[in-house]
Structure 1
């Protein structure tokens, strides 16, 4: 990594972290870029923190090229929290100096000292919510919140979350547990205590006893399933799926169709973001930021998420409040 040194001998970090071509981690690099300019409907923020998500390495790997056009080199990251530096044309409700959090604009990434957010996917950050917690909300927690709304589990019903240990599952589990819904979640055995702390019954997928534990936890089968794993995860629990079970999945369309499942989507509307921040401020939702990496360690942060073993959320910190 290259750094610049000021006259006082202090080191400064580069402008952004991204990738220079599609591929593996070897394509990642720190980038020296001009300060971005917000377009109509956009906000420029000085980034204090940025969330790190699985979608970031998938974008770098080229998995989203069909519908996400990027000019390379491109900055990584889809969510950030910071302070408004400049307001784009047509934007109302935000002023320079406002603390905010939201989703990065198309073609712009959050792993940067300055980032452009889409105004209609941005919300004010309450003083009671830290920048690191706020940066963890737009993608993962927002997806979890929207998933709960789509599945609409009622008090007394049971929701099975496949892959509950990540950021989406963490938010979804807490939201439905507060509403009186029983939660069963699959995760690695090492995460059992962590999953239990979310109010969920933990079923380790790597214990060798997953079928027995699922049968004990779901004697009547789940009322709804949130599949955050994809692949053959639904096939692995097919014996426990009863008629009428509502399913959301990240699996491929063919697998989803076999189970009558709907794809997992999100909207990241300001209303959703505001509600999530309100819950965090009130102590009703914890995004479970497991690790905060300094910006200089962006490579390590993304490596932890790409490994699939991250607990809760991983966040990069660019500035301290």
Structure 2
């Protein structure tokens, strides 16, 4: 089979499309014929060797955690899923023609494989940081970098829970944030004053890592009311950096519920072929996303 791999840490140029042996599921796992794989910042962070403490890697290594596809092998002890079922979930080396998943759910009706591949990691992350920041119904949450995949999920989950959201994004994404139920404003010079003019901020999330931790603490008045998923220096300000994943199975179940109730939809901004994995990483690293990027297999 074909898969994207890298034999050394470095820039996107280290990614190669190689022929590899097909993986097979162990106990409690399934294998899917991958139709699409989600592109996440952790993919290029791992390729660059940034987060080896949390995610040890043995080279050469594959790329990708999220996938949507058709079940074609079922591991020992697995029930509730059969060969031929369309599923989405999390596994390893998902930029490939076949991948093993350790957590999955049946794809909701009406979703394409490309759309479904964009949900697992961003939904687990969104649900986790909302829990960690402790924001409740009736309060106001500030989301810095609100138009990307995690931001899109956070805004819609918050709306479903009765949490008001102020979101920062580029000028081109202001209407998009409004569509998701947020009060939008642009980042850049004067953004703190613009946020203050929109009202009280009870909690804040840093999703973009754009050097705004100090300002988020000022706006909330308490570093314990700020959580970052993108600024590795957040702890210098007493702010929690959230990098440890929670239960993917629970996140997928909530994803299915929200989609089924018409409360969640994350668009695919751009899709790439397996041969374009390097371009996908370059675009993901540049940010300014509206929704998700996926690799089509």
Taking structure 2 as the reference length, what is the TM-score of the superposition?
A: 0.91
Shift of 1:230: 3.4
Q: Report the counterpart of residue 87 of structure 1 in structure 2.
A: 74
SS in 2 for 1:123: strand
The partner residue of 2:31 within 29, 44, 48 is: 44
Q: Report the counterpart of residue 60 of structure 1 in structure 2.
A: 47
For structure 2, the residue ranges without an aligned partner over 5 or more in a row are: none
SS in 1 for 2:69: strand
Asked if 1:71 corresponds to 2:54, the answer is: no
CA distance in 1, matches of 2:23, 2:58: 14
Distance 1:270 1:141, change over 3 A: same
**Residue correspondence of structure 1 range 232-271 to structure 2 within 5 A:** 232-243=211-222, 246-250=225-229, 255-256=234-235, 258-261=237-240, 263=242, 265-271=244-250
**Residue correspondence of structure 1 range 1-321 to structure 2 within 5 A:** 15-104=2-91, 108-118=92-102, 121-206=103-188, 208-218=189-199, 220=200, 222-230=201-209, 232-243=211-222, 246-250=225-229, 255-256=234-235, 258-261=237-240, 263=242, 265-318=244-297
CA distance in 1, matches of 2:112, 2:230: 33
1:201-248 deviation line (CA, Å, top 9, x unaligned): 222112x22122111113x3x111112133631113333122596222
- Number of residue pairs matched by the alignment: 297
Shift of 1:305: 0.8
Q: Report the counterpart of residue 7 of structure 1 in structure 2.
A: none
CA distance in 2, matches of 1:263, 1:310: 21
Distance 1:81 1:32, change over 3 A: same
CA distance in 2, matches of 1:238, 1:244: 5
The answer to whether the Cα contact below 8 Å between 1:141 and 1:287 also exists between their aligned partners in 2 is no
SS in 1 for 2:197: helix
Shift of 1:18: 2.5
SS in 2 for 1:256: helix
Shift of 1:88: 1.7
Shift of 1:152: 4.2
Structure having the larger proportion of residues in helix: 2
1:65-98 deviation line (CA, Å, top 9, x unaligned): 2232333222211100111111122323222112
Distance 1:216 1:246, change over 3 A: same
SS in 1 for 2:253: helix
Distance 1:162 1:86, change over 3 A: same
**Which structure: larger Rg?**
1
Distance 1:231 1:303, change over 3 A: closer
Shift of 1:164: 0.9
SS in 2 for 1:237: helix
For structure 1, the residue ranges without an aligned partner over 5 or more in a row are: 1-13
Question: Which has the larger displacement, 87-96 or 170-179?
Answer: 87-96
Shift of 1:162: 1.3
Taking structure 1 as the reference length, what is the TM-score of the superposition?
A: 0.85
Shift of 1:136: 1.0
